[in-house]
Homo-oligomer: A and B are copies of this chain.
Amino acid sequence: MSEPLFLQACERQPVERTPVWMMRQAGRYLPEYREVRKQADFLTMCRTPELAAEVTLQPIHRFGFDAAVIFSDILIPLEPLGFGVVFGEKGPRITRPVRSAGDVPAGVPDDFAERVAFVYRTIELVRDALSAEIPIIGFAGAPFTLASYLIEGGGSKSFAETKTFFYHQPEAAHRLLGLLADLVARHLSNQVRAGARAVQLFDSWAGVLSEAEYRVWALPYVRRILSKLAEAQVPRILFTLNAGHLFGALAEVEAEVLGIDWRTPMGQAFDLLGDRFALQGNLDPTVLLGTPEQVIAETRQVLNGVAGRPGHIMNLGHGVLPPTPIANVEAFVRTVREFKGDDQ
């Protein structure tokens, strides 16, 4: 049996067609997901392997994606550190956020793996239910992004609390970031042990930093995680949003795949980064709110931009949006599967 398409592309091998999956593909845009969600709240779904596995599999069954990203949340591994995580109408909220050096936990607790065992159990259930051709992607948040949630107490626009903490308590900030790097490396290694065949690190908010700041507060911790994961021998995907100004720094990371948001045309991203990395992306998720004709045209444009260079994994430039119509996801996937280049 040949290696799964998705893994071939991660390794920059030539593939018979471009593999495709979507960030947040196990999510609210799916009616069958909303059915499950009626019976359990978001956190309960994350913590119940049978439910998490069920919704992980839903988009695979419906659309035939080439990889199954596990249903979970980047804030899940923060709970064993002693932080309360609440998912409300207005997005996630951290109870008792980090406001002083004393709020930084001493270390990763010994029973960390047991406390989030439901994530690993979910992966085992998905692995058992799924053909070996469809690899499972495990994931975690990167330290800067996780720290910003912990310090802001939730999402933010200005990251004022985070930067105030960093500037006034740099030692505690670096201690927190280092701790999160250790935590995330363990969480991802555990996911690989449970059956994940690739891991994705989400540094979704790193794009608010200038390159100089990124090199202080984000990059060293991303590198520490990626380095610890080298022995797991699975493709390591680093996703950053809104990070065109960080490409110089990103070019230095030890990852196999970089996730690219929709702002940079994929051909340009390949010119800048394609000789070292496979690249994942990057249809603008809002295009999936348009007409099927627009979805087809824009999807073809991304594929034509790549021009058949090896190492492309088709995806959106960010997570699929809840109001996305199913017919548009179908058009997206079908266009990728049937694509033979512009001139055919």
Contacts and interface: CB of A to CB of B under 8 A. Distances in A.
A321 B158 contact: yes
Given A158-B321, A210-B284, A321-B160, A263 B245 contact: yes
B167 A291 contact: yes
A290 interface: yes
Interface in A187-226: 207, 210-213
A169 to B, nearest CB: 11
Interface residues of A, number: 30
Contacts of A213: 284
A294 B245 contact: no
Contacts of A207: 242, 263
A167 to B, nearest CB: 3
Contact of A265 (B211, B285, B290, B323): B211
A285 B322 CA distance: 33
Interface in A141-187: 158-160, 163-164, 167-168
A286 interface: yes
A281 to B, nearest CB: 12
A244 interface: yes
A251 to B, nearest CB: 16
A286 B160 contact: yes
A216 to B, nearest CB: 12
Given A158-B285, A284-B210, A164 B323 contact: yes
Contact of A286 (B158, B211, B290): B158
A262 interface: yes
B262 A164 contact: no
A92 to B, nearest CB: 13
Nearest to A289: B164
B245 A168 contact: no
A264 B263 CA distance: 15
Count of this chain's copies in the oligomeric assembly: 2
B210 A263 contact: yes
Contact of A160 (B160, B164, B262, B323): B323
Interface string A314-336: 00000001110000000000000
Given A263-B210, A285-B158, A286-B163, A291 B244 contact: no
Nearest to A298: B212
Contact of A291 (B168, B263, B289, B290): B168
Contacts of A284: 210, 213
Interface of A: 158-160, 163-164, 167-168, 207, 210-213, 242, 244-245, 262-265, 284-287, 289-291, 294, 321-323
30 contacts: A158-B285, A160-B286, A160-B289, A160-B321, A160-B322, A163-B286, A163-B287, A163-B289, A163-B290, A164-B286, A164-B289, A164-B323, A167-B286, A167-B287, A167-B291, A167-B294, A168-B290, A168-B291, A207-B242, A207-B263, A210-B262, A210-B263, A210-B284, A211-B265, A212-B265, A242-B242, A244-B244, A244-B245, A245-B263, A245-B264
Given A163-B290, A168-B291, A212-B265, 20 more contacts: A158-B321, A163-B286, A163-B287, A163-B289, A164-B286, A164-B290, A164-B323, A167-B286, A167-B287, A167-B289, A167-B291, A207-B263, A210-B263, A210-B265, A210-B284, A211-B265, A213-B284, A242-B242, A244-B244, A245-B264
